[in-house]
Every structure is written in structure tokens, then in C-alpha cells.
Amino acid sequence: MNHACITPALLATLTLPMAAPAMADFIGDSHARLELRNHYLNRDFRQDNAPQSKAAEWAQGFTARIESGFTDGALGFGLDALGELGVKLDSSADRRGTGLLPFGRNSLEPADEFSELGLTGKLRASRSVLRLGTLQPTLPVVVYNDTRLLGTTYQGGLLTSQELDGLTINAGRLTKANLRDSSNRDDVGYGAASSDRFDFAGGTYAFTPQLNLSYYYGELDQIYRQQYLGLLHTLPLAGGFSLRSDLRYFDSRGDGAERAGRIDNRNLNGMFTLGHGGHKVSASYQQLSGDSAFPFLNGGDPYVVNLVTYNTYTRADEDSWQLRYDYDLVALGIPGLTFMTRYTDGRHAKAAGVDNGREWERDTDIAYVIQSGPLKNVSLRWRNLTLRSGNGLTTAVDENRLILGYTLALW
């Protein structure tokens, strides 16, 4: 079990005796919850004649979150805690590797359990908050992964400022990462290369409630640096329709010693979604250029529109498109039941020994949240995918995921 690093000065400040009125908001505005996630994943590689024909694991995850308020005064102090525990229910050495459970270097047997404890100190001044310790950022240049049993966490600092109306600024530094299937904190990195720090800064300005523009810069020291520009717009149309436009552009280059090799990538991607009632129809396109794949932090997900259940479509020179349909069955009088299906096709991918690879993925999600009774708010989700590739790429996967979730508010 690991513990977040908080500066001694901050801990000393948080433990100083305070008058009851100063502590009132610290305690009164606090809240806690327990997130339960039961996850079964079955991945079949048999069509690919892979050395491991199948990966299948079943595990239970527990995530406890405690978030304090802030002490009173011009400078408010707070403290958050995050506890994560994963427990093996079924797995074996010949079925490992789903991303649910860790396994050792010397032993291929998946661990019976793994855990993490993280602490985050908070300092608030006016409309700005500085957080130091355990972080789970969701920014264009770093998005933590939460697609398995437990979420990835990072160690570092994050300053969020909203001093100007409509403008949100984020800046910070990350130094360590705890991956979704690990109890260890390792240096931040990309691929097999590691770094002492990942620095980032940027912001989003809302011109109107329907239109905002974002810019971010990220630098993984001695590995890569990345710029992002994004535009998000929602346009109400006649007859109850709406059109949502989500445009994203990344420019990624090598930094310093380029420990992961040469980084040279431009990534233009966007999604357009037409909505009406419970229906949403989406079309997206993603175009990569340059000599390398699109880089993103280990333990995170790429902030791209064609990030789907299994694949990311971020190989060098890869072009991909997606068609997607979502339906919320509340429109038919069945609240809590949702459906999603999509098809994504990628071509012209370059990888080791491959110059014109092709890959496609078909995904289907059916989810239901129980609306009443003793099991109210329990969620059930079935995810099914099929992935095939060719022209030198050799991945073929049939996969099913069953996920049972529940969040219990403790106070």
C-alpha cells in the first residue's frame, strides 16, 4: 500500500489547532462515498492464433473517496483521501492480462488483491484552488484511465483558477503514476521511456454557454512536448434537434534527449453529433500525420474522438472514421435503460514492419440503472466488441465485459 507525498509544511498547517468556526466549513462541507465495481472481462484471441488464446478475469473493486470542505478565511485549507482496493474473484496464469489484476515479474499468477491510499492537500484563495498529492486529471493533455477495476492515479500538483468569468485555467506538474492494475508508483512516462516530470498548462474560455475554445500545452521532460487546440459548440436546431461539434487538434514533437525515440505527430480529429429526443447519431474522423504514433502518458487515455472500447486508432499516419448511434429508452417509457452501437474503421496505419495496415472495431453497450426498490441506483452494463485487422496488422479479438456498479453515499 502506498501513501501520497504531501509536504511537511502543508501537513503541519492542516493539523494546527483551529477554532470551531474556522473548522465548520471544513467538516460541514465534507462528503464521502464508496464506489463498488464488479467487473468480468473475457477476451478471445483464438482467431489470431496468439500464444495466449484467451484472457478472462473476474474481480471486485472498492474505491472510497472522502473530500473535505475548506477552513474559513482568506486562505482555506482542505484534505481529500482516496482508497482503492481490488480483489481477485477468478483468474489464472494462463488467463491473465485483461488489465483488471496485476501479476508479478517472477510469477505469472495474478495477485489476490492490490490497493492504494492517496492523500491530497488543498489550498483555496478566492476562486483558485491548489491541490498537492494524489490526482486524477481529466484534461486534453492528460486523461486518467478508469475503464477497469480501479482508476489510474498520478502524484503531483494542480492549480485550477476561475478568477475571470468564463475562463478556467489549469496548470501543474505530475511526477509519478499508479496504473489501473498496480499498487506501485512509477515515474511518469510514455511507452518504455520514463521521465522525472510532466508539466502542463492551459485553459478553456466559454464565449457563450454553447461555445468554448481550449488551448493546452504539455511537456514530458526529455520525451515529448504537445500542444492542443479544441473547439466545442452546441447548436440548437428547429424541431427539437441539436448539433454538437467537437473539434480537436494536437501537435506533438520530441523533447530534449527524446528517450522514447523520435516523436513527430499531428492529429486532427472531430465528431459531429445530431440529437433529437432519446436519439443521437454521431460521425467522426481522425487523421494522423508525421513519422510517429500519437503520444500520451502511461496510465492515461488519448483525448481523441476515436478512442473506443479496445482501440485508439493512434498509429502513425492512420486515418479513421466512426459512425455511432445512442438511444436513451426513457423516450419509450423505460428510464434507466440506454443503448449504444458504433463501427470504427482505420486505414493506412504504420507500425513496425507495417506500412499500410487496416483495422476495424464494432462495439455495442447496453446499460441499465435500477430506478426504485432496495437495489435502486445499481447499474448493470454489458459491453461487446469485435476487432479485426489486416495488411500486416495481426490483432483479432472478440470480447465481452460485464460490469455491475453501485455508489453509496456515506455522508
**CATH number assigned to the domain comprising residue 216:** 2.40.160.10
**What's the pTM?**
0.91
CA distance 145 to 132: 20
The 10s digit of each residue's pLDDT in 358-397 is 999 999 999 999 999 999 999 999 999 999 999 999 889 9
Contact 380, 388 (CB under 8 A): no
* 197 domain residue, yes or no: no
The 10s digit of each residue's pLDDT in 38-73 is 999 999 986 656 677 899 999 999 999 999 999 999
| 281-306 mean pLDDT | 98
* 163 domain residue, yes or no: yes
Read off the DSSP letter of residue 95: S
Residue 69: in which H helix or E strand, if any? Answer: none
The 10s digit of each residue's pLDDT in 222-263 is 999 999 999 999 999 999 999 999 999 999 999 999 999 999
* Res 9 pLDDT > 90: no
Same domain, residue pair 104 and 216: no
- Number of Cβ atoms within 10 Å of the Cβ of 90: 11
* Res 312 pLDDT > 70: yes
Same domain, residue pair 41 and 86: yes
Q: 3-state class of 376 per DSSP?
A: coil
* 199 domain residue, yes or no: no
Same domain, residue pair 28 and 128: yes
Contact 50, 40 (CB under 8 A): no
> Quick one: pLDDT band at residue 16, thresholds 50, 70, 90?
very low
Vertex 289, ends 385 and 249: CA angle to 5°? 80
Continuous H helices in 115-186: none
Domain stop point among 152, 187, 222: 187
- Number of Cβ atoms within 10 Å of the Cβ of 106: 6
Q: What is residue 23's predicted lDDT score, i.e. its pLDDT?
A: 73
* 382 domain residue, yes or no: yes
Task: Give the whole-number percent of the chain exceeding pLDDT 90.
Answer: 89
Same domain, residue pair 256 and 164: no
The 10s digit of each residue's pLDDT in 139-160 is 999 999 999 999 999 999 999 9
CA distance 18 to 177: 34
Same domain, residue pair 178 and 221: no
The tally of CA atoms less than 13 A away on the side-chain side of residue 176 is 16
Vertex 311, ends 309 and 315: CA angle to 5°? 160
Grid-cell match 477552513, residue found: 71
Q: What is residue 46's predicted lDDT score, i.e. its pLDDT?
A: 67
Same domain, residue pair 183 and 236: no
Contact 326, 340 (CB under 8 A): yes
Is residue 54 packed enough to be buried (19+ CB in 10 Å), middle (13-18) or exposed (0-12)?
Answer: middle
Domain residues for 217? Answer: 207-411
| 271-277 mean pLDDT | 97
Contact 364, 354 (CB under 8 A): no
| 85-94 mean pLDDT | 95
Residue 8: in which H helix or E strand, if any? Answer: helix 8-14
Same domain, residue pair 216 and 142: no
Same domain, residue pair 212 and 318: yes
* 158 domain residue, yes or no: yes
> Quick one: pLDDT band at residue 108, thresholds 50, 70, 90?
confident
Q: How far does Cα 114 stand from its chain's mean position?
A: 20
* Res 337 pLDDT > 50: yes
* 193 domain residue, yes or no: no
The 10s digit of each residue's pLDDT in 28-40 is 999 999 999 999 9
Same domain, residue pair 126 and 231: no
Same domain, residue pair 260 and 386: yes
Total residue length of the chain: 411
The 10s digit of each residue's pLDDT in 183-221 is 999 999 999 999 999 999 999 999 999 999 999 999 999
Contact 387, 311 (CB under 8 A): yes
Contact 77, 71 (CB under 8 A): yes
Give the CA distances from residue 117 to residues 134, 170, 408, in Å, rounded to whole numbers and listed in that order: 9, 25, 19
* Res 5 pLDDT > 70: no
* 249 domain residue, yes or no: yes
Beta bridge partners of 242: 236, 275
Give the CA distances from residue 213 to residues 139, 168, 219, 305, 410, in Å, rounded to whole numbers and listed in that order: 13, 11, 21, 17, 37
* 198 domain residue, yes or no: no
Amino acid identity, position 112: D
Domain tally for the chain?
A: 2
Question: Among residues 339, 334, 398, which one has the least CA distance to residue 364?
Answer: 339
SS3 string of 286-298? EEEECCCCCCCCC
Same domain, residue pair 87 and 179: yes
Q: What is residue 343's predicted lDDT score, i.e. its pLDDT?
A: 98
396-409 vs 31-44, strand pairing mode? antiparallel
Domain stop point among 123, 156, 187: 187
> Quick one: pLDDT band at residue 11, thresholds 50, 70, 90?
very low
CA distance 276 to 337: 17
Domain stop point among 139, 159, 187: 187
Same domain, residue pair 235 and 145: no
Grid-cell match 489550498, residue found: 123
